A and B are shown apart, each in its own frame.
Chain A
Amino acid sequence: MQASNTLWRFRGVTPTAMLAFVYLYLPIVVLVVLSFNANRIATLWTGFSFDWYLKVMDNDNILRATKNSLIIACGATLLATSFATMAALAMAGRRFRGQAFINAMLGLPLLVPEIVTAVASLLFFLALGLDLGLLTVLIAHTVFCIPFAYLPIRARLEGLDPRLAEAAADLYAGPFATFRRVTLPLILPGVLSGAMLAFIVSLDDFVITFFVAGAGATTLPVYIFGLIRMGITPEVNAVSALMLLVSIAFVALSYWMGQRKS
């Protein structure tokens, strides 16, 4: 609407925005392109090759780390999404005492620098005498996934007409039947979108996992970090490119879910 009026064209805005988009995508494009590079020297283009991807698929350590990542991401997503759905349902009702406190606690994992959460969790697990492994990683991931799952569900519930649930209750549906037959189908896009965000956040996490994983529960990002520290190689390019593509696919899917009107 405003674009037609020349007064609305602020000088320098368009070039800066273009620069920002190039800046955001150039490294991603370069990484993906170089992952198909035939050359052993990872930054010089000599020809197309699929070899590095085959090497990655053949690397037992990478496969094991991927398996760990998927187990943890699935577990944390399931737990965090169910907890968050329940909490969102309770928070959507009438206001109550302690609501502000719960809101603040839900914001805590988003607000506190990751490294502080990592240190606190590590010290806590060690003080409890828990062995660092899949369980500690799963707990830590569930904690920081809860707010990510909660926010879209809460937003979806906000737009919901409370009279629908009331009508169901008037028609003698119990609370559980009301939830299963009325509320859940209506908030499902929010729940799925939240679950997907939780999954991607868990899959991507490095810092907290790095601290609480111990030797047995190396996830893909932790393994990649170890590889990068040893040097830039085409295998790292390939596994990084795969990681990027998975994230991008999930964000796009989550966006599409959120957009879909029920």
Chain B
Amino acid sequence: MSLDPQRRWRRRLLLAPTTLTLLLFMLLPMLLMAWMSVLAPDTYGGVRWHEWSLDAYVQFLYERDLDDSLTLNSDYLQIFGRSFLLAGFATVVTLLIGFPTALYIALKEETTRQRLILLISIPFWTNLLVRTYAWMLLLRNGGLIDSSLSWLGLSQGALDVLYTPTAVAIGFVYSFLPFMVLPIYTSLEKMDWRLVEAAFDLGANRWQALRRVILPLAMPGIVAGCLLVFIPAIGSYYIPELLGGGKSLMIGNLIQNQFGTARNWPFGAALSFMLLALVLLAMWVYTRRFQRPPGE
């Protein structure tokens, strides 16, 4: 297709601000980060620009002893493992709550549906930091949950759940639940419900209709929802910081440490880069598996 040059120039001009901003301030910083992860750290933060070093990646797995020999150190792997576990747990629980919720909304009348979706979207857009803080009020000893449980006679002594991994998990499920409901709802809404009717007509019971018809058709939404929960959860910084206290350190806290007290920029860059690689891998698997080429 040939376009007259004038229109082509107009298009370039229209695209220039967005493209340049994203290239300069998103893509270039990512590349710089990857580069800095293979440089040597300077003593008080910063990097030595002309000194290549793979130390940041070596440090991830090994500890350097005084005599310069390397011993395996699983501390950082454990932090990655814990982050994976917590994010995975949050994904499973949000799916278990989110799918029935999306189904409930999808089966309602048009006007009710729109209102319910607005109800789900409001927390989606409201300040996550403040919503996390609200959980500190609820979970702390002497807080609402603690005092109602002891008032009901269901617990002895303090609840002691704030500043534990459990609190972090609760915070994740709460924060990311709308991220699961919205994409699942979108795929359920687009679904041809006559297929489910046909299944019922052919004698399927509810469970069979759900498992054999609704679930497979909702799969793209389910997978998108899982990614939308898993990605922010695994890189989360302030939810584990506020609800987990110092005890349940996750990747995000470890990264932040490298720019705060630890002052090891290359290690921080390497950790961020590894986190990014994990996320891109998950995305790649997703697009390979579930994104059909257009027109199919």
Cβ of A105 < 8 Å from any Cβ of B? yes
Residue in B closest to A26 when the chains form the complex, CB atoms: B138
How many Å from the CB of B222 to the closest CB on chain A? Answer: 15
Given contacts A13-B104, A243-B127, A244-B126, contact A94 B276 (CB under 8 A): no
How many Å from the CB of B139 to the closest CB on chain A? Answer: 10
Task: Enumerate chain B residues within 8 angstroms of A1, measured Cβ to Cβ.
Answer: 109
The interface centre, meaning the residue of A25, A113, A207 with most chain B CB atoms within 10 A of its CB, is: A113
Task: Enumerate chain A residues within 8 angstroms of B206, measured Cβ to Cβ.
Answer: 7, 10-11
Contact B26 A109 (CB under 8 A): yes
User: Using an 8 Å CB-CB cutoff, how does the interface string of B72-111 with A read, 1 for contact, 0 for none?
Assistant: 0000000000000000000000000110110111011100
Which residue of B108, B126, B134, B265 contacts A248 across the interface (Cβ within 8 Å)?
B126
The interface centre, meaning the residue of A120, A221, A236 with most chain B CB atoms within 10 A of its CB, is: A120
User: Using an 8 Å CB-CB cutoff, how does the interface string of A97-120 with B read, 1 for contact, 0 for none?
Assistant: 000001001101101111111011
Contact B259 A211 (CB under 8 A): yes
Task: Enumerate chain B residues within 8 angstroms of A151, measured Cβ to Cβ.
Answer: none
Contact A113 B279 (CB under 8 A): yes
Which residue of B14, B135, B236 contacts A86 across the interface (Cβ within 8 Å)?
B14
How many Å from the CB of B194 to the closest CB on chain A? Answer: 11
Given contacts A3-B108, A123-B29, A225-B238, contact A96 B129 (CB under 8 A): no
Given contacts A146-B18, A204-B126, A247-B125, contact A116 B131 (CB under 8 A): no
Contact A113 B98 (CB under 8 A): no
Contact B127 A221 (CB under 8 A): yes
> B interface, how many residues as a size bin?
35 or more
Q: Is the interface of B mostly helix, strand, loop or mixed?
A: helix
Cβ of A73 < 8 Å from any Cβ of B? no
How many Å from the CB of B104 to the closest CB on chain A? Answer: 4
Cβ of A237 < 8 Å from any Cβ of B? yes
Cβ of B174 < 8 Å from any Cβ of A? yes
How many Å from the CB of B210 to the closest CB on chain A? Answer: 6
Contact A24 B178 (CB under 8 A): yes
Cβ of A159 < 8 Å from any Cβ of B? no
Binds B, one of A15-23, A49-57, A181-189: A15-23
Contact A20 B98 (CB under 8 A): yes
Contact A115 B255 (CB under 8 A): yes
Contact A115 B177 (CB under 8 A): no
Which residue of B21, B136, B177 contacts A143 across the interface (Cβ within 8 Å)?
B21
Contact B21 A24 (CB under 8 A): no
> A interface, how many residues as a size bin?
35 or more
Which residue of B25, B137, B259 contacts A237 across the interface (Cβ within 8 Å)?
B137
Residue in A closest to B210 when the chains form the complex, CB atoms: A10
How many Å from the CB of B25 to the closest CB on chain A? Answer: 5
A257–B135 Cα gap in the complex (Å)?
A: 32
User: Using an 8 Å CB-CB cutoff, how does the interface string of B25-55 with A read, 1 for contact, 0 for none?
Assistant: 1111110110010000000001000000000
Contact B272 A120 (CB under 8 A): yes
A9–B265 Cα gap in the complex (Å)?
A: 55
Which residue of B18, B100, B231, B256 contacts A16 across the interface (Cβ within 8 Å)?
B100
The interface centre, meaning the residue of A31, A34, A224 with most chain B CB atoms within 10 A of its CB, is: A31
Task: Enumerate chain A residues within 8 angstroms of B30, measured Cβ to Cβ.
Answer: 112, 116, 120
A146–B23 Cα gap in the complex (Å)?
A: 13
How many Å from the CB of B159 to the closest CB on chain A? Answer: 12
Which residue of B22, B129, B235 contacts A108 across the interface (Cβ within 8 Å)?
B22
Contact B21 A251 (CB under 8 A): no
How many Å from the CB of A155 to the closest CB on chain B? Answer: 13
Residue in A closest to B250 when the chains form the complex, CB atoms: A115
A183–B22 Cα gap in the complex (Å)?
A: 25
Contact B18 A87 (CB under 8 A): yes
A79–B21 Cα gap in the complex (Å)?
A: 10
Contact B123 A24 (CB under 8 A): yes
Contact B121 A30 (CB under 8 A): no
Cβ of A93 < 8 Å from any Cβ of B? yes
How many Å from the CB of A229 to the closest CB on chain B? Answer: 8
Cβ of A228 < 8 Å from any Cβ of B? yes
A127–B232 Cα gap in the complex (Å)?
A: 27
A112–B280 Cα gap in the complex (Å)?
A: 8
Which B residues fall within an 8 A CB radius of A? 1, 3, 10-11, 14-15, 17-19, 21-23, 25-30, 32-33, 36, 46, 97-98, 100-101, 103-105, 107-109, 118-123, 125-131, 133-138, 140, 142-144, 173-174, 177-178, 181, 193, 200, 206, 210, 231-232, 234-238, 242, 251-252, 255-256, 259, 265, 268-269, 272-273, 275-276, 279, 283
Known contacts A113-B234, A146-B21; 15 additional CB pairs below 8 A are A3-B107, A24-B123, A24-B177, A43-B137, A91-B15, A96-B11, A116-B30, A116-B235, A143-B25, A201-B125, A228-B242, A232-B136, A240-B134, A248-B126, A255-B121
* A-B pairs with beta carbons under 8 Å apart, 19 shown: A2-B193, A20-B97, A24-B174, A31-B137, A43-B143, A83-B18, A87-B17, A105-B19, A115-B255, A204-B129, A207-B237, A211-B259, A229-B242, A232-B140, A237-B137, A243-B127, A244-B127, A244-B130, A251-B121
